Amino acid sequence: MAEHESLEFGKADFVLLDNVSMEEFMANLKLRFDKGRIYTYIGEVVVSVNPYRAMNIYGRDTVEQYKGRELYERPPHLFAIADAAYKAMKRRNKDTCIVISGESGAGKTEASKYIMQYIAAITNPNQRAEVERVKNMLLKSNCVLEAFGNAKTNRNDNSSRFGKYMDINFDFKGDPIGGHISNYLLEKCRVIFQQEGERSFHSFYQLLRGAPDSLIRSLHIQKDPAAYNYIKSSINDGADFKAVADAMKVIGFTGDEIQTVYKILATILHLGNLTFGVDGDVTLIENTKLVSILRELLSTKEENVEKALLYRTVATGRDVIEKQHTVQEASYGRDALAKAMYERLFCWIVGRINDIIEVKNYDAKIHGKNTVIGVLDIYGFEIFQNNSFEQFCINYCNEKLQQLFIQLVLKQEQEEYQREGIPWKHIDYFNNQIIVDLVEQQHKGIFSVLDEACMNVGKVTDEVFLQGLNTKLAKHAHYTSRKLSPTDKSLEFDRDFRIRHYAGDVVYSVVGFIDKNKDTLFQDFKRLLYNSSNPVLKGMWPEGKLSITEVTKRPLTAATLFKNSMISLVENLACKEPYYVRCIKPNDVKSPLLFEQERCRHQVEYLGLLENVRVRRAGFAYRQTYPRFLQRYKMISEFTWPNHELSSDKEAVKRLLQGCGFDHDVAYGKTKVFIRTPRTLFSLEEQRAEMVQRIVLFLQKVWRGTIARMRYRRMRAALVILQAYRRYKVKSYFREVHRRFKNVKSMKDYGRHVKWPTPPKVLRKFEEALRSIYNRYADKISAFYFQRCTSLNTETEDEPLSNNMFLNCKNRAVLITDRHLYKMDPLRQYKPMKSIPLYNVTGVSVSPGKDQLVVFHTKDSRDLVVCLQGMVPANESRIGELVGTLLSHFRIHSQQNCRTTCSDRMTVTVGK
């Protein structure tokens, strides 16, 4: 079920603002920040505000909430955009990318890590070991790259000082199988110099603070960062040393490779403490002990180290000469070597990671298409007091990405309207192509002017470069300098120029542009490191194998290399389906409570967020596929709830919106419905919320009734089973009683020795009563059944009984109790036919012959005659026993003396 935030948190999508203005945009952004909602949508773009505090919104439970969901189904989140990119890649077999942008400290690096963690969490459901290994290496690579590429700045304690683009490769099942990392423009000048309050790269401090004593001694370094000229310290990174070392081992770095990394870091620290002096005309190294340490760490010869630091070998035709450095040249060479070594180290680390994680032996014909999700985490647009060559390149990079963003957003919108058959409404927007051309255009752009200045013969200065800019760009609307604007005192003569960027005006100082663009490193250092006996270090400097006299092409300048890499990056992103995360830094003091309006407003402007909203709102504020729209709003209309019977979902949506009176504010595309104003969508949401309450109550009622019926059926079933079981037990008991006692009448003790079966619990009292009755009557009843009972009907009195006097003989049964004597009919279920009270019996006569006649004499002269033929053996002892039993019974219960006779002649009195 979709979950939407209450309006108390503001609008979750800026596209749904009532009025598109900077004031409403900022008010909504601040409200959501104050309420702890750091993510907001602009259509399919996520705006992220750095909360400067830990938030419990990235756990496994949150991952499950966004897994497989559409963007609109859950509140705005990074996971939603990551899932959208993953679904597009997996379902539509399309390469996608997630572009993360914003200024330093806005949270770009953290956002990229959360996106990587989400992709890792939702993939490989079958827990394949190889996929788990690849995922682990991809995640660990972040840890390593942060250590060597990030640094503390005045704006951010973990600022990425390089650009990073990672491609993650997926197989046809959607599981990661490898990746590739591209790095851009490492800020290597930070190795030798940092602004006040800033630091060098984390790796130096982690080594000094966290390395074991044995490693510290082997590298000849101290734990105190203050002992080294190149670095400054303010944070203890000791705990991170082991984490980075372990991550490198997981990725696949060997022990020797990791040791070489530490040696290079130590070498750079020692280089920073190397000082030069002059003895006459000779330049020398003042602290020569460091040369021996450098020789050991670099695995080369000591004399070669000293020579490379103090001399430059120059080839003039066939002649080779050694030119001694001045102190300034030696210091420049030392710093250039330190920067180059760190840059080569960083690029080697990236290349080594790529060697391990890149997809190998993948055949698309066998394994299916290899799809990609790209994640771009790159430095943001910034304005400093003294903006250098590096910052100029960074801001140019952001101009390129902003151009791509605007073009793709407009392109996506236009393509969608055309695809759906909806008229496209053109809107005006600022196209920053003019600024991009200002920087990169051939022969006219700033990079071209800079390269031309570097190629000039003779003394080339930064001022010469600035003059070239003033000449070629004098009429450009987005360029100016103090020479072109003499009255502008914010610019220094022969030093500054200003560019009117998309995000604002920035003043750059040309000091250092020429040197940084040339990026000169003496060939002697390259040969020195190539000739190292350490194979890892040797492999980092392949060009060192060239001989001194060997002619080489002029290397590309730093500006050209960076421009080419940016063009390649943008082309790579343009061929993928892009998703955007736009990061905003709410304040400069890293407070979780402070929202600085002007600072945030400036970032909104340079990120183009308001223009993005306007583009999105140019035609229709909201669009959704017909099935999805019905799924959310079908309960509003009786024609669509619970399911419609119309010809298509499109017709059902039309009927729904017409019934609500919104037909004038919508357009119907081929696969989607387009809603023009947010007010219509809010009205639909209000009607839906009202209906949802009623539906919930109805469902609760139905469910409670269902539960009650289920409970009743279970109870009834249990009762039926219980009753059936009881009946079964009772019947079983009676069958067993019958089986055991069915022949007791032929037993001498009438069954007194028979063991009673164990009764069920329900019959225990009954069994006790039954046993009592049985025992009582077993003692007292003389006979229970008399078969072939014979009754005599005659009108004579006092006439001798003889065989020929029988007129009517029938089978009868006689039952004698303690009060009555009953004559019963066996053919009519032993229905009593005659009842004689025992006190009315005066005597019993028994025939000794085979006829076995018995006569019960009564006071009212209605004697009963029965025949025991076939039931009692014809002998006197058995008859005597029977007569004795009857006599005893009658004496006890008739309360009078009964005469008993045994004779072959008996007198029967028969009344009328």
CB atoms within 10 A of CB 159: 22
Q: Say whether 545 counts as a known binding-site residue.
A: no
Query: For residue 190, which amino acid is it?
Result: R
Burial of 183 (0-12, 13-18, 19+ CB in 10 A): buried
Angstrom distance (rounded) from CA 298 to CA 292? 10
DSSP of 184-204? E---GGGGT---TT---BHHH
To the question of whether residue 106 is assigned a binding role by annotation, the answer is yes
What is the Cα gyration radius of the chain?
53
User: Would you name the residues annotated as active-site residues?
Assistant: 104-105, 109, 156, 159-160, 380, 382
Q: What amino acid occupies position 481?
A: S
Other CB atoms closer than 10 Å to residue 495's CB: what's the count?
A: 16
105 assigned binding-site residue: yes
104: annotated binding-site residue?
yes
Residue 119 near residue 67 (C-beta atoms within 8 A): no
The answer on whether 103 is annotated among ligand-binding residues is yes
The rounded distance, in Å, linking the Cα atoms of 872 and 882 is 9
> What are the start-end ranges of the E strands in 54-128?
96-101
Q: Indicate the helix (H) or strand (E) that contains 84.
A: helix 78-91
- The four Cα atoms 144, 146, 152, 158 give a dihedral, to 10 degrees, of -130
> What is d(CA 809, CA 471) in angstroms, rounded to the nearest whole number?
153
The Cα–Cα gap between 305 and 294 comes to 7
Helix (H/G/I), strand (E/B), else coil: 183: strand
How many residues can be counted in the chain? 912
Alpha helices in 358-445 (DSSP H): 364-367, 389-420, 433-440
- Residue 207 pairs with which residues in a beta bridge? none
Which one, of 506, 148, 607, lies nearest residue 496 by Cα?
Answer: 506
DSSP 543: G
Any idea what DSSP says for residue 910? B
Cβ within 8 Å of residue 157, ≥6 positions away: 235
Reduced to 3 states, what is the DSSP secondary structure of residue 782? coil
CB 791 within 8 A of CB 864: yes
What share of residues in the chain are helix, strand, coil (percent, to 5)? 50, 15, 35
d(CA 754, CA 737): 10
The phi and psi torsions of 296 (rounded to 5 degrees) equal -65, -45
Query: Tokens in use for 380?
Result: 């943001």
Q: Return the axis-axis angle of helices 238-251 and 255-272, rounded to nearest 10°.
A: 140
**Is 680 annotated to bind ligand?**
no
Instruction: Determine the 3-state secondary structure of 51 from DSSP.
Output: coil
Tell whether residue 108 is among the known ligand binding residues.
yes
Is 109 annotated to bind ligand?
Answer: yes
Torsion from C-alpha of 207, 209, 212, 216, nearest 10 degrees: 60
**Residues annotated within a binding site:** 102-109
**Residues annotated within a binding site for ATP:** 102-109
